[in-house]
């Protein structure tokens, strides 16, 4: 902390100083917890941080959705209040001339009009008309009263939704702060993996072990459900497959040497530098045999293309398909993300022939 910043803090409100120091202490404690968990798996720690971040983001989205719904109800309540108010005043305007006329006429005036009828039938007719006018006035009065009640209810709804929106805004702000803290914890861990040799080597060793488990998992996948045959289709597309996502291949198939630590790992697929959120598409027709989380690879989708061929995409932000679903070439099966990624957002892509990884570049076109 620079002397200038420290001086500004000392001159600030003591409560603000305390909040700043507490936030800093919390961040440092979180970083220390992540870096000191020597006995735990690095990938497990990363997965925990990602799950906490995902939960915080989901909670923010739910709160924002509730807030949007409350704002919609508020707009409707205000519109309803305006309509009810307009209707109330319109009914009063309808009543006012006749009420004033009846007031001027008085009870005696009404009786005089009735008694001045020259015949009995005219008396009955005048009495009937008076009753019709009175009935109409009473109906208008009832409508005005109902409009006034509707206006009151709408005003109460406006007050309720206004208070709810304020509470949700506060809740969303708090949840966004939590999400930011979770993101910082995750970035702290990733920073350690990228700069500390010990953490990098542990992560590389765990990633290699997970690659073996993934190979076993793919080999153990059940064969395609009998039905429409795809025999020979995937094989015939060799050299003509489109990439599952647009982007340059930044890390190729086979031995990979880390330039910083000079460590060697074996990669069973390729890394594609696709931006976060970009659509990920099926490269050939097939059926989804797995769509879910896999340690070290995050969200993955595996597609069986028949003849013993599978393709796999990993580190997805979201999955747009489900196990057992038939997919066509170009169908969107997910979006690019950084789930369980030690490198940030990118797409990992594998092709396997009867469980054995093959170089995807030999299969991709242009």
HEC sequence for 275-332: CCCCEEECCCCEEEEEEEEECCCEEEEEEEEECCEEEEEEEEEEECCCCCCEECCCCE
Last residue of a domain, one of 192, 220, 252: 192
Q: Is residue 314 part of a domain?
A: yes
User: Residue 92 in contact with residue 141, Cβ under 8 Å?
Assistant: no
What total number of domains does the chain contain? 3
Q: Are residues 152 and 173 in the same domain?
A: yes
Residue 64 confidence (pLDDT): 79
Q: Are residues 131 and 66 in the same domain?
A: yes
Q: Is residue 262 part of a domain?
A: yes
Q: Residue 23 belongs to what domain range?
A: 3-36
Number of Cβ within 10 Å of residue 13's Cβ equals 9
Q: Are residues 120 and 245 in the same domain?
A: no
Q: Is residue 202 part of a domain?
A: no
Residue 8 confidence (pLDDT): 41
Which domain CATH number covers 71? 1.10.287
Whole-model pTM: value is: 0.56
Q: Are residues 276 and 167 in the same domain?
A: no
Please state the rounded mean pLDDT for residues 306-325.
Answer: 92
Q: Is residue 198 part of a domain?
A: no
Q: Are residues 25 and 148 in the same domain?
A: no
Residue 328 has pLDDT above 90, yes or no: yes
Q: Is residue 199 part of a domain?
A: no
Q: Are residues 225 and 354 in the same domain?
A: yes
Categorize the per-residue pLDDT at 12 as very low, low, confident or very high, splitting at 50, 70 and 90.
Answer: very low
Q: Is the dihedral of CA 327, 331, 335, 336 positive or negative?
A: positive
Residue 40 confidence (pLDDT): 55
Residue 226 confidence (pLDDT): 44
Q: Are residues 73 and 15 in the same domain?
A: no
Q: Are residues 185 and 231 in the same domain?
A: no
Residue 287 confidence (pLDDT): 92
Q: Are residues 214 and 241 in the same domain?
A: yes
Residue 85 confidence (pLDDT): 79
Q: Which residue has the higher pLDDT, 354 or 123?
A: 354
Q: Are residues 224 and 354 in the same domain?
A: yes
Instruction: Check residue 36 and report its DSSP letter.
Output: H
Please state the rounded mean pLDDT for residues 16-40.
Answer: 52
Q: Are residues 356 and 214 in the same domain?
A: yes
Q: Is residue 296 part of a domain?
A: yes
Categorize the per-residue pLDDT at 9 as very low, low, confident or very high, splitting at 50, 70 and 90.
Answer: very low
Label residue 324 left, alpha or beta by phi (over 0 means left) and psi (-120 to 50 means alpha).
Answer: left
Dist. CA 313–CA 336, nearest whole Å? 9
| Dihedral over alpha carbons 236, 238, 240, 243 (to 10 degrees) | 130
Dist. CA 157–CA 118, nearest whole Å? 57
Q: Is residue 50 part of a domain?
A: yes
Q: Is residue 201 part of a domain?
A: no
Q: Are residues 148 and 177 in the same domain?
A: yes
Length of the chain as a residue count = 366
Last residue of a domain, one of 166, 192, 218: 192
In 3D, which of 274, 277, 299, 291 has the Cα closest to residue 327?
291
Which domain CATH number covers 351? 2.70.70.10
Owner of token pair 């027709």 = 285
Please state the rounded mean pLDDT for residues 251-256.
Answer: 88
Please state the rounded mean pLDDT for residues 2-27.
Answer: 49
Using one digit for the tens of pLDDT, what is the confidence trace for 73-85? 777 777 877 877 7
């Amino acid at each position: 902390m620079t002397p200038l910043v420290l001086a500004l803090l000392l001159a600030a409100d003591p409560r603000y100083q305390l909040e700043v120091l507490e936030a800093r202490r919390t961040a440092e404690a979180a970083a220390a917890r992540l870096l000191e968990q020597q006995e735990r798996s690095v990938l497990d720690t990363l997965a925990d941080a990602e799950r906490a971040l995902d939960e915080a983001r989901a909670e923010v989205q739910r709160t924002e959705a509730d807030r949007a719904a409350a704002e919609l109800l508020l707009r409707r309540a205000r519109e309803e209040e305006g309509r009810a108010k307009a209707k109330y005043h319109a009914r009063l305007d309808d009543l006012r001339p006749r009420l004033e006329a009846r007031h001027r006429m008085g009870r005696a005036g009404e009786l005089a009009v009735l008694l001045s009828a020259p015949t009995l039938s005219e008396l009955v007719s005048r009495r009937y008309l008076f009753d019709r006018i009175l009935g109409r006035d009473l109906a208008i009065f009832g409508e005005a009263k109902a409009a006034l009640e509707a206006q009151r209810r709408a005003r109460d709804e406006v007050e309720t939704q206004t208070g709810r929106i304020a509470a949700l805004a506060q809740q969303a702000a708090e949840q966004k702060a939590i999400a930011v803290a979770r993101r910082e914890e995750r970035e702290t861990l990733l920073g350690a993996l990228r700069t500390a040799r010990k953490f990098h080597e542990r992560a590389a060793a765990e990633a290699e072990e997970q690659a073996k488990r993934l190979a076993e998992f793919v080999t153990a996948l059940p064969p395609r459900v009998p039905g429409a045959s795809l025999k020979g289709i995937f094989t015939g597309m060799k050299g003509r497959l489109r990439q599952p996502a647009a982007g340059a291949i930044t890390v190729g198939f086979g031995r990979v040497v880390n330039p910083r630590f000079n460590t060697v790992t074996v990669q069973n697929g390729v890394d594609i530098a696709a931006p976060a959120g970009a659509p990920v598409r099926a490269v050939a027709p097939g059926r989804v045999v797995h769509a879910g989380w896999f340690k070290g690879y995050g969200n993955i989708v595996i597609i069986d293309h028949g003849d013993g061929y599978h393709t796999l995409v990993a580190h997805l932000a979201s999955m747009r398909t489900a196990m057992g679903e038939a997919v066509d070439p170009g169908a969107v099966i997910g979006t690019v993300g950084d789930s369980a990624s030690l490198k940030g957002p990118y797409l990992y892509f594998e092709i396997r022939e009867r469980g054995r990884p093959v170089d995807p570049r030999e299969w991709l076109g242009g």
